[in-house]
Structure 1
Amino acid sequence: MMKPTLMASAAAVLALATALATAARAEDGYGLWLRYRPVEAAQAAAYRAAASELVVADGSPTLTVARDELVRGLSGLLGAAPPMASAPTRDGALIVGTPASSPLIAGLKLPLEALGPDGYLIRSVQVEGRRATVIAGTSDVGALYGAFDFLRRMQTRQPIERLDVAEAPKVKLRLLNHWDNLDRHVERGYAGQSIWDWWRLPDIKDARYVDYARANASLGINGTVLNNVNAKADSLTAPYIAKAAAVADVLRPYGIRVYLSARFSAPIDIGGLKTADPLDPAVRAFWTAKADEIYRTIPDFGGFLVKANSEGQPGPQDYGRSHADGANMLAEAVAPHGGVVMWRAFVYSNEQPEDRIKQAYGEFTPLDGKFRDNVIVQVKNGPLDFQPREPFHPLFGATPKTPLMMEFQITKEYLGFATHLVYQGALYEETLKADTWRKGRGSTVAKVVDGSLFGHGLTGMAGVANVGTDRNWSGSHFDQANWYAFGRLAWDPQRASRAIAQEWAKMTFSDHPAFVTPVADMMMASRETVVDYMTPLGLHHIMGEGHHYGPAPWVSGGPRADWTSVYFHRASPEGIGFDRTASGSNAVAQYAPEAGRALAADEKNLLWFHRAAWDRKVSSGRTLWDELVVRYDRGVAEVAEMRRTWEGMAPYVDARRHAEVAADLAVQEREAKWWRDACIAYFQTFSKRPLPAGHAPPEHPLSWYQALKFPYAPGTGK
């Protein structure tokens, strides 16, 4: 009788071991788009023939990183890494390095100089009579970027037998901005605590920093601002400079420089001065000494990011000085070290302005040409604040003598936090393709950002990060796509967001066409979906007060009118919308005439630029009121369709990640209905019109939605 029992026990142990092994292989999203899962057997054979051995030049830590990444990637994709060699001994060698580090590459006399320090070539060549592939840059970082490109081609199942690739970034500064505080709270972050463990630094450097660096380098991101733009002066004290230096040591081999947000009042806060006036000699001396101190500790420190005279932050206007006065003082301090100053144009005064969106243009256009050469003005994609849809910022193209740096938000402060699936690549592309008309048709925002419109050499793009301690980095799996899309567009603002979505989907989940096509379609539609159920037809800034979670079009009162919803939508029995034409605030006049006319005529921006009667007919033939209801319902229906699409993707995705995305989509559908119901219930109190036929009334009375409170919503400032 013992034998069956023992057999049953053995079977149970075997089942448990199998379950544990399966669990160990289950994916949690930590690998991002660098999973390096095995390719199919036939494809693997072709790839092995084109990467039969690895010849990587010795030298810098960066080339060591490139070698290690290729070993890691090829091991995962092909089952084993090719052998290392000092010179090609067979057909199909992969040769990596620079002309300075590799005599083999130097002997090929490749046309590298035109690609600049970050560019690279991947080319099929003949070396000593043998077929080979060379990955070469003028710098070691360029070679590293080329290595990631090569692996990406294999991950997405592209042929690598006959390559002739020349790549160079179109934007110089490609940065993440971390709104991370020293206590590890992340302002507008929805992925856990800050990854920077300031308490344990500089002695303990989390291994996660390396994987963060790998992910950024794979996209060509070359800088990171470690601390919140709402900065504490403590970040500039010696202990925290040493902590930043420890992070810089980890990131440096990956071509990533660290930057710091500087609090403008630091001369008072930590310098013992009674003023922070940028024209005061003692203040200038403080910043010069502080820059020298930082560069002694971090020789490749990138420079400062500054938020000044905005939302109560100190700045040069406190002393009757201009933004140029403040930026130039800091620029003078970092210039001897090759540093830059990124001065944010997100400014609005503490008084109630005529129209908040006009202030940045009004303050910065008179200063065009007055900034030092190492200053770049950082401008949000729209003139308000990262709304689901805004017209492009009128500053783009309006300062031909001053370089402007794009600021996108990767974190989804106004787009459902980490839970809602919203692919922002489509939003980024919409902004970058927008035509400023500043030098005639085709003067796109992308050409302003990459410097080509006005011939600027200092260029940049920043993304407000949503990277945290969550195991999947971004709070949800599809939010990783926004980090990925930002990096790919920062390298080349002309890229198509659909192609980026397809690439990301293949690398992150599955390259099967039955997966990639519907998922890319879903991603591309997701931004318009969230606009439909949150802010259709140009509505804006109607979210919850302070935490920005959920709908709250009824918000009014408080210390500032322009922090309320009613200030922006202006709903009344007569109609809704903000008149920004000549009969209103005339904000449209801040654009070139052709651009302004196009933006104001686009129905997507109707209530951004116009105040419209409830019975106004729109392009569908419906009244404005009926169209709003239809759009809200369409948004909810589109989320339901996203859920159905994702349900059908189960055969192509591991069970854990599939279930986690499905759970997020269920939350998104519930919250889309909440947005729909709350907004319709509120706006109907003004329109006093019935819902169009076939459209259900809100589930609850308006008072129910107004009573909801969220005192501990994530991401709120401290």
Structure 2
Amino acid sequence: MRNFRVYILIFLLMPFIIFAEDGSKLWLRFPNVKNGISSEKIISKGKNPTLEIAKKELMSYWQGQTIELRTDKSLKNLKDGYVIKSNSGKIIISAAKESGLLYGVYHILRLQQTKSDFSHLNITEKPSYDIRILNHWDNLDGTIERGYAGHSLWKWEDLPNKISPRYEEYARVNASIGINSVVLNNVNASPNMLRTDYLQKVKVLADVFRAYGIKVYLSVNFSSPKVIGGLENSDPLHKNVQQWWKEKASEIYNLIPDFGGFLVKANSEGQPGPQDYGRTHADGANMMADILKPHGGIVMWRAFVYSPSKEDRAKQAHLEFVPLDGKFRDNVIIQIKNGPVDFQPREAFNPLFGALKKTSEMVEFQITQEYLGFSNHLVYLAPLFKETLDSDTYSDGKGSTIAKITDGTLRPAQLTAISAVANIGEDTNWTGHHFAQANWYAFGRLAWNHELSAENIADEWIKMTFTDKAAFVNPVKKIMLSSRETAVDYMMPLGLHHIFASGHHYGPEPWGDYKGGRPDWSPVYYHQANAQGIGFDRTKTGSDAVSQYFSPLNTIYGDIETCPENLILWFHHVPWNYKMKDGKTLWEELAFKYDSGVQNVREYQKVWDQMEAYVDPERFTQVQSKLKIQAKDAVWWKDACLLYFQTFSKMPIPYDIERPVHELEDLKKIKLDLKHHN
């Protein structure tokens, strides 16, 4: 009798019990359908591995009315998009491709999970980009460059014989947000990636991913013909080099008929490239494009190029690539980082966007938080992604946004693409921080539809990942939407950039001056602080980087009075006592920004602590612990930067902000050993 009462009590309390979770399901926490949905409620014709997955997802999780899945070739203008309509008591999902049907199924499961209305569905979805790609910076030894979620998912030593169940889980998660392409390995590529034994391992992954609509790409080392092919050199204009690549491409496509192509980092940060032989980026990219073309493959050629020189690093990609405009094959896409330096918390957008009038361009974002506190800081990146995509370059007149330049709206392109560096590792929760999952999700959703708002994406993700209760959703959404600006404030406000500790990029080191090393890896190169002021002069009297922007931006950025204040130290060397728009001096504004960042993280801690009733204990305590680290780090940043810059400004830290708790000399002694992250 006692046991019976216990069971009754548990049954009555079920709606209020929160079970422990480890984050491994990400946003796919669909409740299983009781006793399974009857197969009669799912109507489809034909048999295809992708279609079978779509049906399986519905059988497992759909709780609504009958669904019909239709392939309709007349919808090919939607590419791998779909149409969802309510019709006489059933829902019809139509698409030209089976992958479109799968995406449509995930769409209605998302609607179900976020408790949306199904009564009058009339949805048409066409992806913003053809190629929606994750770049993994994973190495063959299992380490991940700039990875903060454990070792690589890819177990090269086990492949091709042993297949981890996480490979299919990974493919499913990507398909749920429309990601359809994956670069498996680091852009600092090992030539060994192209060895036959590794290609056979890659084939296994491609076979797993295919049913989920995902193509595999590889980063390749430009010196591969010499290093693993035994040739004298890797000169792209030499016939034997071209023949080596041609034979290698045939080998790959025999194994993987739908192989996507190559991603190339060349002549940057010591990587080999065509310039080693007096050739241009176009020579190198076109050689590869020609050998891939018969197979339908593409080359994504990175524009992240800079070398030790007296020229402003922010100008170098533009200087190298603009003279080559129009010289690239039509299956070459130039992959351009969102900013001209390197994935900073805030950068001016890259002036190369729009400058290449006759060459396809694609954006490269960084999901992994190399410069944003690794997997310790809660920083929701959709606002950063949106800031870039919505930036108006004025390249073709007003309204020439980066989104419209890269998605084919403004300039018709054979293929359009968008990419981001993944933050995924073998950690149970995939990304190291439960909230870092939102950045993977946000990239996928924006790659599918760049017109979505950061707020809408956060709303979806919170409801799918945690709960749909408004008392949780609304305050947590406020944290997420403000978190990027908060990080900018406590790290590098007003356009400051790249003042991190060297090598690992965790924590502040504004005093870093790598004498004898490369000046453009040194924080003092970027902030230029002296007795007169602070900031990098990129005006006509400085490096003249402003001239790389189209009118009127070159004038707006070049004038200290009209330059947006959130970029003022990016473009100007500003006197300490310069009056900002709110009446504060620059020094005071800097101090208040740093303090605001610290106070905001403290507020996040308070808000999160109030969420305990809505979250399982595991994830609640893990996020709580991360916020403690973030709060300490924010104070570390604030004290390090203000105390150091005060040695130049000679001005008091405003008395109505929190006092420093560290001594500058103690902060200078901090040396973290984070080699395992690289």
Shift of 1:56: 3.4
For 1:652-663, list aligned pairs within 5 A: 652-663=614-625
- 2:28 matches 1:34: yes
Which whole-Å CA distance do the structure 2 matches of 1:443 and 1:224 have between them? Answer: 28
Distance 1:558 1:72, change over 3 A: farther
Amino acid in structure 1 at the alignment position of 2:398 = R
Shift of 1:597: 3.3
Which whole-Å CA distance do the structure 2 matches of 1:497 and 1:482 have between them? Answer: 11
- 2:598 matches 1:649: no
**Contact kept? 1:52, 1:94, Cα under 8 Å:** no
Which whole-Å CA distance do the structure 2 matches of 1:565 and 1:15 have between them? Answer: 61
Secondary structure at the counterpart of residue 420 of structure 2:
strand
User: CA deviation digits over 1:654-694, x for unaligned, max 9?
Assistant: 12111111111111001100100111111111111111122
- 2:411 matches 1:454: yes
Total equivalences in the alignment? 668
**Contact kept? 2:330, 2:414, Cα under 8 Å:** no
Task: List alignment gaps of at least 5 residues for structure 1.
Answer: 1-6, 17-21, 83-91, 101-110
- 2:677 matches 1:715: yes
Which whole-Å CA distance do the structure 1 matches of 2:19 and 2:477 have between them? Answer: 26
- 2:261 matches 1:303: yes
CA RMSD of aligned residues (A): 2.4
Shift of 1:558: 4.1
Partner residue, 1:403: 360
Of all paired residues, the percent bearing the same amino acid is 52
For 1:521-600, list aligned pairs within 5 A: 521-556=478-513, 557-600=515-558
Distance 1:234 1:23, change over 3 A: farther
- 2:75 matches 1:112: yes
Which whole-Å CA distance do the structure 2 matches of 1:476 and 1:714 have between them? Answer: 18
- 2:649 matches 1:681: no
**Contact kept? 1:435, 1:595, Cα under 8 Å:** no
**Contact kept? 2:18, 2:615, Cα under 8 Å:** no
Which whole-Å CA distance do the structure 2 matches of 1:202 and 1:97 have between them? Answer: 35
**Contact kept? 1:267, 1:275, Cα under 8 Å:** yes
Distance 1:112 1:309, change over 3 A: same
Which whole-Å CA distance do the structure 1 matches of 2:555 and 2:472 have between them? Answer: 41
Partner residue, 1:498: 455
Partner residue, 2:42: 54
- 2:350 matches 1:387: no
Q: State which of 372, 389, 394 in structure 2 corresponds to 1:415.
A: 372
Partner residue, 1:205: 163
For 1:268-667, list aligned pairs within 5 A: 268-349=226-307, 351-556=308-513, 557-600=515-558, 601-667=563-629
Secondary structure at the counterpart of residue 123 of structure 2:
strand
Shift of 1:650: 1.8
- 2:92 matches 1:98: no
Amino acid in structure 2 at the alignment position of 1:170 = S
Partner residue, 1:669: 631
Shift of 1:280: 0.5
Amino acid in structure 2 at the alignment position of 1:677 = D
Which whole-Å CA distance do the structure 2 matches of 1:327 and 1:469 have between them? Answer: 33
Amino acid in structure 2 at the alignment position of 1:596 = N
Shift of 1:96: 1.4
Q: When the two structures are superposed, what TM-score results if normalisation uses the length of structure 1?
A: 0.90
Q: When the two structures are superposed, what TM-score results if normalisation uses the length of structure 2?
A: 0.95
Secondary structure at the counterpart of residue 259 of structure 2:
coil
**Contact kept? 2:85, 2:122, Cα under 8 Å:** yes
User: CA deviation digits over 1:578-637, x for unaligned, max 9?
Assistant: 000101000011010212334451000010000011111111211111111111000000
User: CA deviation digits over 1:116-145, x for unaligned, max 9?
Assistant: 2x011111224xxxx321112111111111
Which whole-Å CA distance do the structure 2 matches of 1:24 and 1:659 have between them? Answer: 14
Q: State which of 40, 44, 63 in structure 1 corresponds to 2:51.
A: 63
Which whole-Å CA distance do the structure 2 matches of 1:515 and 1:630 have between them? Answer: 30
Secondary structure at the counterpart of residue 521 of structure 1:
helix
User: CA deviation digits over 1:207-248, x for unaligned, max 9?
Assistant: 001111111001110000000000000000000000000001
**Contact kept? 1:632, 1:676, Cα under 8 Å:** yes
Task: List alignment gaps of at least 5 residues for structure 2.
Answer: 11-15
Which whole-Å CA distance do the structure 1 matches of 2:332 and 2:652 have between them? Answer: 55
Which whole-Å CA distance do the structure 1 matches of 2:6 and 2:54 have between them? Answer: 45
Which whole-Å CA distance do the structure 2 matches of 1:344 and 1:258 have between them? Answer: 18
Secondary structure at the counterpart of residue 379 of structure 1:
strand
Which whole-Å CA distance do the structure 2 matches of 1:598 and 1:472 have between them? Answer: 44
Amino acid in structure 1 at the alignment position of 2:301 = W
Which whole-Å CA distance do the structure 1 matches of 2:414 and 2:17 have between them? Answer: 50
Distance 1:53 1:400, change over 3 A: same
Distance 1:569 1:433, change over 3 A: same
Shift of 1:457: 3.0
Which whole-Å CA distance do the structure 1 matches of 2:392 and 2:299 have between them? Answer: 27
Secondary structure at the counterpart of residue 217 of structure 2:
strand
Distance 1:163 1:192, change over 3 A: same
Secondary structure at the counterpart of residue 326 of structure 1:
helix
Partner residue, 2:13: none
